[in-house]
Amino acid sequence: MRSLLTATDHPSVAKEGLDIRASELEGREVIMSQASKPFNPEEVRVIVASLQQPAVFLNMVSDWPALKWNVEYLSHVLNGKPLKFRIGERNMTKVPQFETHCEYVQATLQEFLVWLHGGSDVSAGLFAAFPRSRYWAYADYKYIAMTFEEKAEVFQDIIWSDFGFPGRDGRDSTLWIGSEAANTPCHLDSYGCNLVLQVQGRKRWHLFPPEDTSFLYPSRIPYEESSIFSSVNVVNPDLERFPRFRGARPHVVTLHPGEVLFVPKHWWHYVESLDPVTVSINSWIELCYWRDVLKRCCVNDDDDEARVGEALTRTVVCALKSVDPRADIASWLNTTEAAVTSHETNLHYVNLAVQACLDKPKICSAKGRNTSARGSSAFSRKRKCGSGEEAEHSAATDAVRNPAEPISTLTPSIPFGPNLVSVAREAAAVAQHGVPSVPRDDNISLTNNLEANYCCGRKDCNSKPTGVHRAVISTDELLNCLVHPDVISLMTEILLDRHCSH
């Protein structure tokens, strides 16, 4: 934890000439800071490992220097360094505004501020071509380690150790700066979970549980490693084309400055900025951080298996799209991906991921196959920044200390209350579109799932193959079946079972 108090800047020390070492003051500050928080780091770590639903932590970051990271401050720190902004249209349609549908500009935060305040002249730079009444701007996925590589001292402004992740700071975090209406399309992350600190402005999060995947019509086009997108614009859904979305269960929360949102593994999320300018900081946490907790709670760490699935997905997508003469790379490869990787490279990734699973020590058995917890550094990326660089997983991954508590204390009831607020389901979110909800069936078969998700597109089709009309199957539709999460999961299981049997 970074101390906010030193012997040189504390007025009473300078005035009274007290002979107190800076290290002693730092220690006192740490004790005071922890005492003022509702949960200590070990408590938070166990809570987060146990949470199965989104929740907001309050009163946990009041002493974080990162709370001063508003756009004006960041503009001063970056001192004219250009960032890549994604530009999207405010006009709300029923089609998701994927990153491949947006425009991009290189601009400074000073130019962004001029544009935010209504400037449209040369001082707004490339923003001048995009009237604020029609467009929003988003400097998203900015890895702090790269963005502030010449200002390494700011890394300590972010103190994820307060949440039970020792050594994790700005080097393992990502910065998001957006204007009103800036948004991230609805998606789920294939592995890990997410901690999000809101710094400036408010953001609204629309979250859906993993069980709603079939209602969100998952797609891997545009392709991005570890992100599965929804074909539905969840805030303005086309219910004629995607009728099963009526069965989705949205959980909605507005995140305010100073609050930290926890997004569990495999929860879908769509995020939109509500205020003229928003700033947030997040960190993707892999399950290996809780291996000691998860093992004692009999929970499997399946991030390694997820990496096998991601390697299989990349191999299939690149293979089919690369041979499609009508496929423009810019239309299917997300801007967060540097380039199309070769089949040889993709197969190498598959082998590395499978080997990482086979090398894991046994802790339990599932269908004759080992499941446990040992990370694969080759697949520890979350997303790539706009310029294509890879974000390396922190060495702090292996620095988690083993808790001494017995199993009974590692699986407590979640202490929801004034300092930990559960994100509730918003039952009226779908009904507001004027369409009644339909009964849910959480035991939908894979066959029915694929039929429901990928009909031919005709309005009279009713999502069932009737044989009355000729189906025209595109490469993308074929891919959405081949790399559907259920199919990839089954492929992963078969592949690992085959190699475990040797």
Architecture label for domain 37-500: Sandwich (2.60)
Domain boundaries, the chain: 1-36, 37-500
Per-residue pLDDT, 291: 58
How far is the CA of 22 from the CAs of 3, 8, 17, 18, 55, in angstroms?
Answer: 10, 8, 13, 11, 37
Per-residue pLDDT, 502: 62
Q: Of the ranges 10-19, 227-236, 406-415, 422-431, which is most confident?
A: 227-236
Query: How would you classify the pairing of strands 218-219 and 369-371?
Result: unpaired
**Residue 184 backbone phi and psi in degrees, to 5:** -110, 125
CB within 8 A of 355, min separation 6: which ones?
none
In tens, the pLDDT along 342-395 reads 999 999 999 999 999 888 765 334 444 443 333 333 333 344 433 333 333 333
In tens, the pLDDT along 438-469 reads 455 555 544 445 544 444 444 444 444 445 55
Q: Are 64 and 158 in contact (CB under 8 A)?
A: yes
Per-residue pLDDT, 105: 97
CB atoms < 10 A from the CB of 236, how many? 12
Structure-model confidence comparison of residues 434 and 343, the more confident one: 343
> Where does the pLDDT of residue 427 fall: very low under 50, low under 70, confident under 90, or very high at 90 and above?
low
**Residue 253 backbone phi and psi in degrees, to 5:** -145, 145
Closest CA to 457 of 480, 436, 441: 480
Q: Which long-range contacts (CB under 8 A, 24 or more apart) does 25-34 make?
A: 29/3, 29/4, 29/5, 30/1, 30/3, 33/1, 33/4, 33/63, 34/162
Closest CA to 235 of 182, 177, 186: 186
Q: Is the pLDDT of residue 12 over 50?
A: no
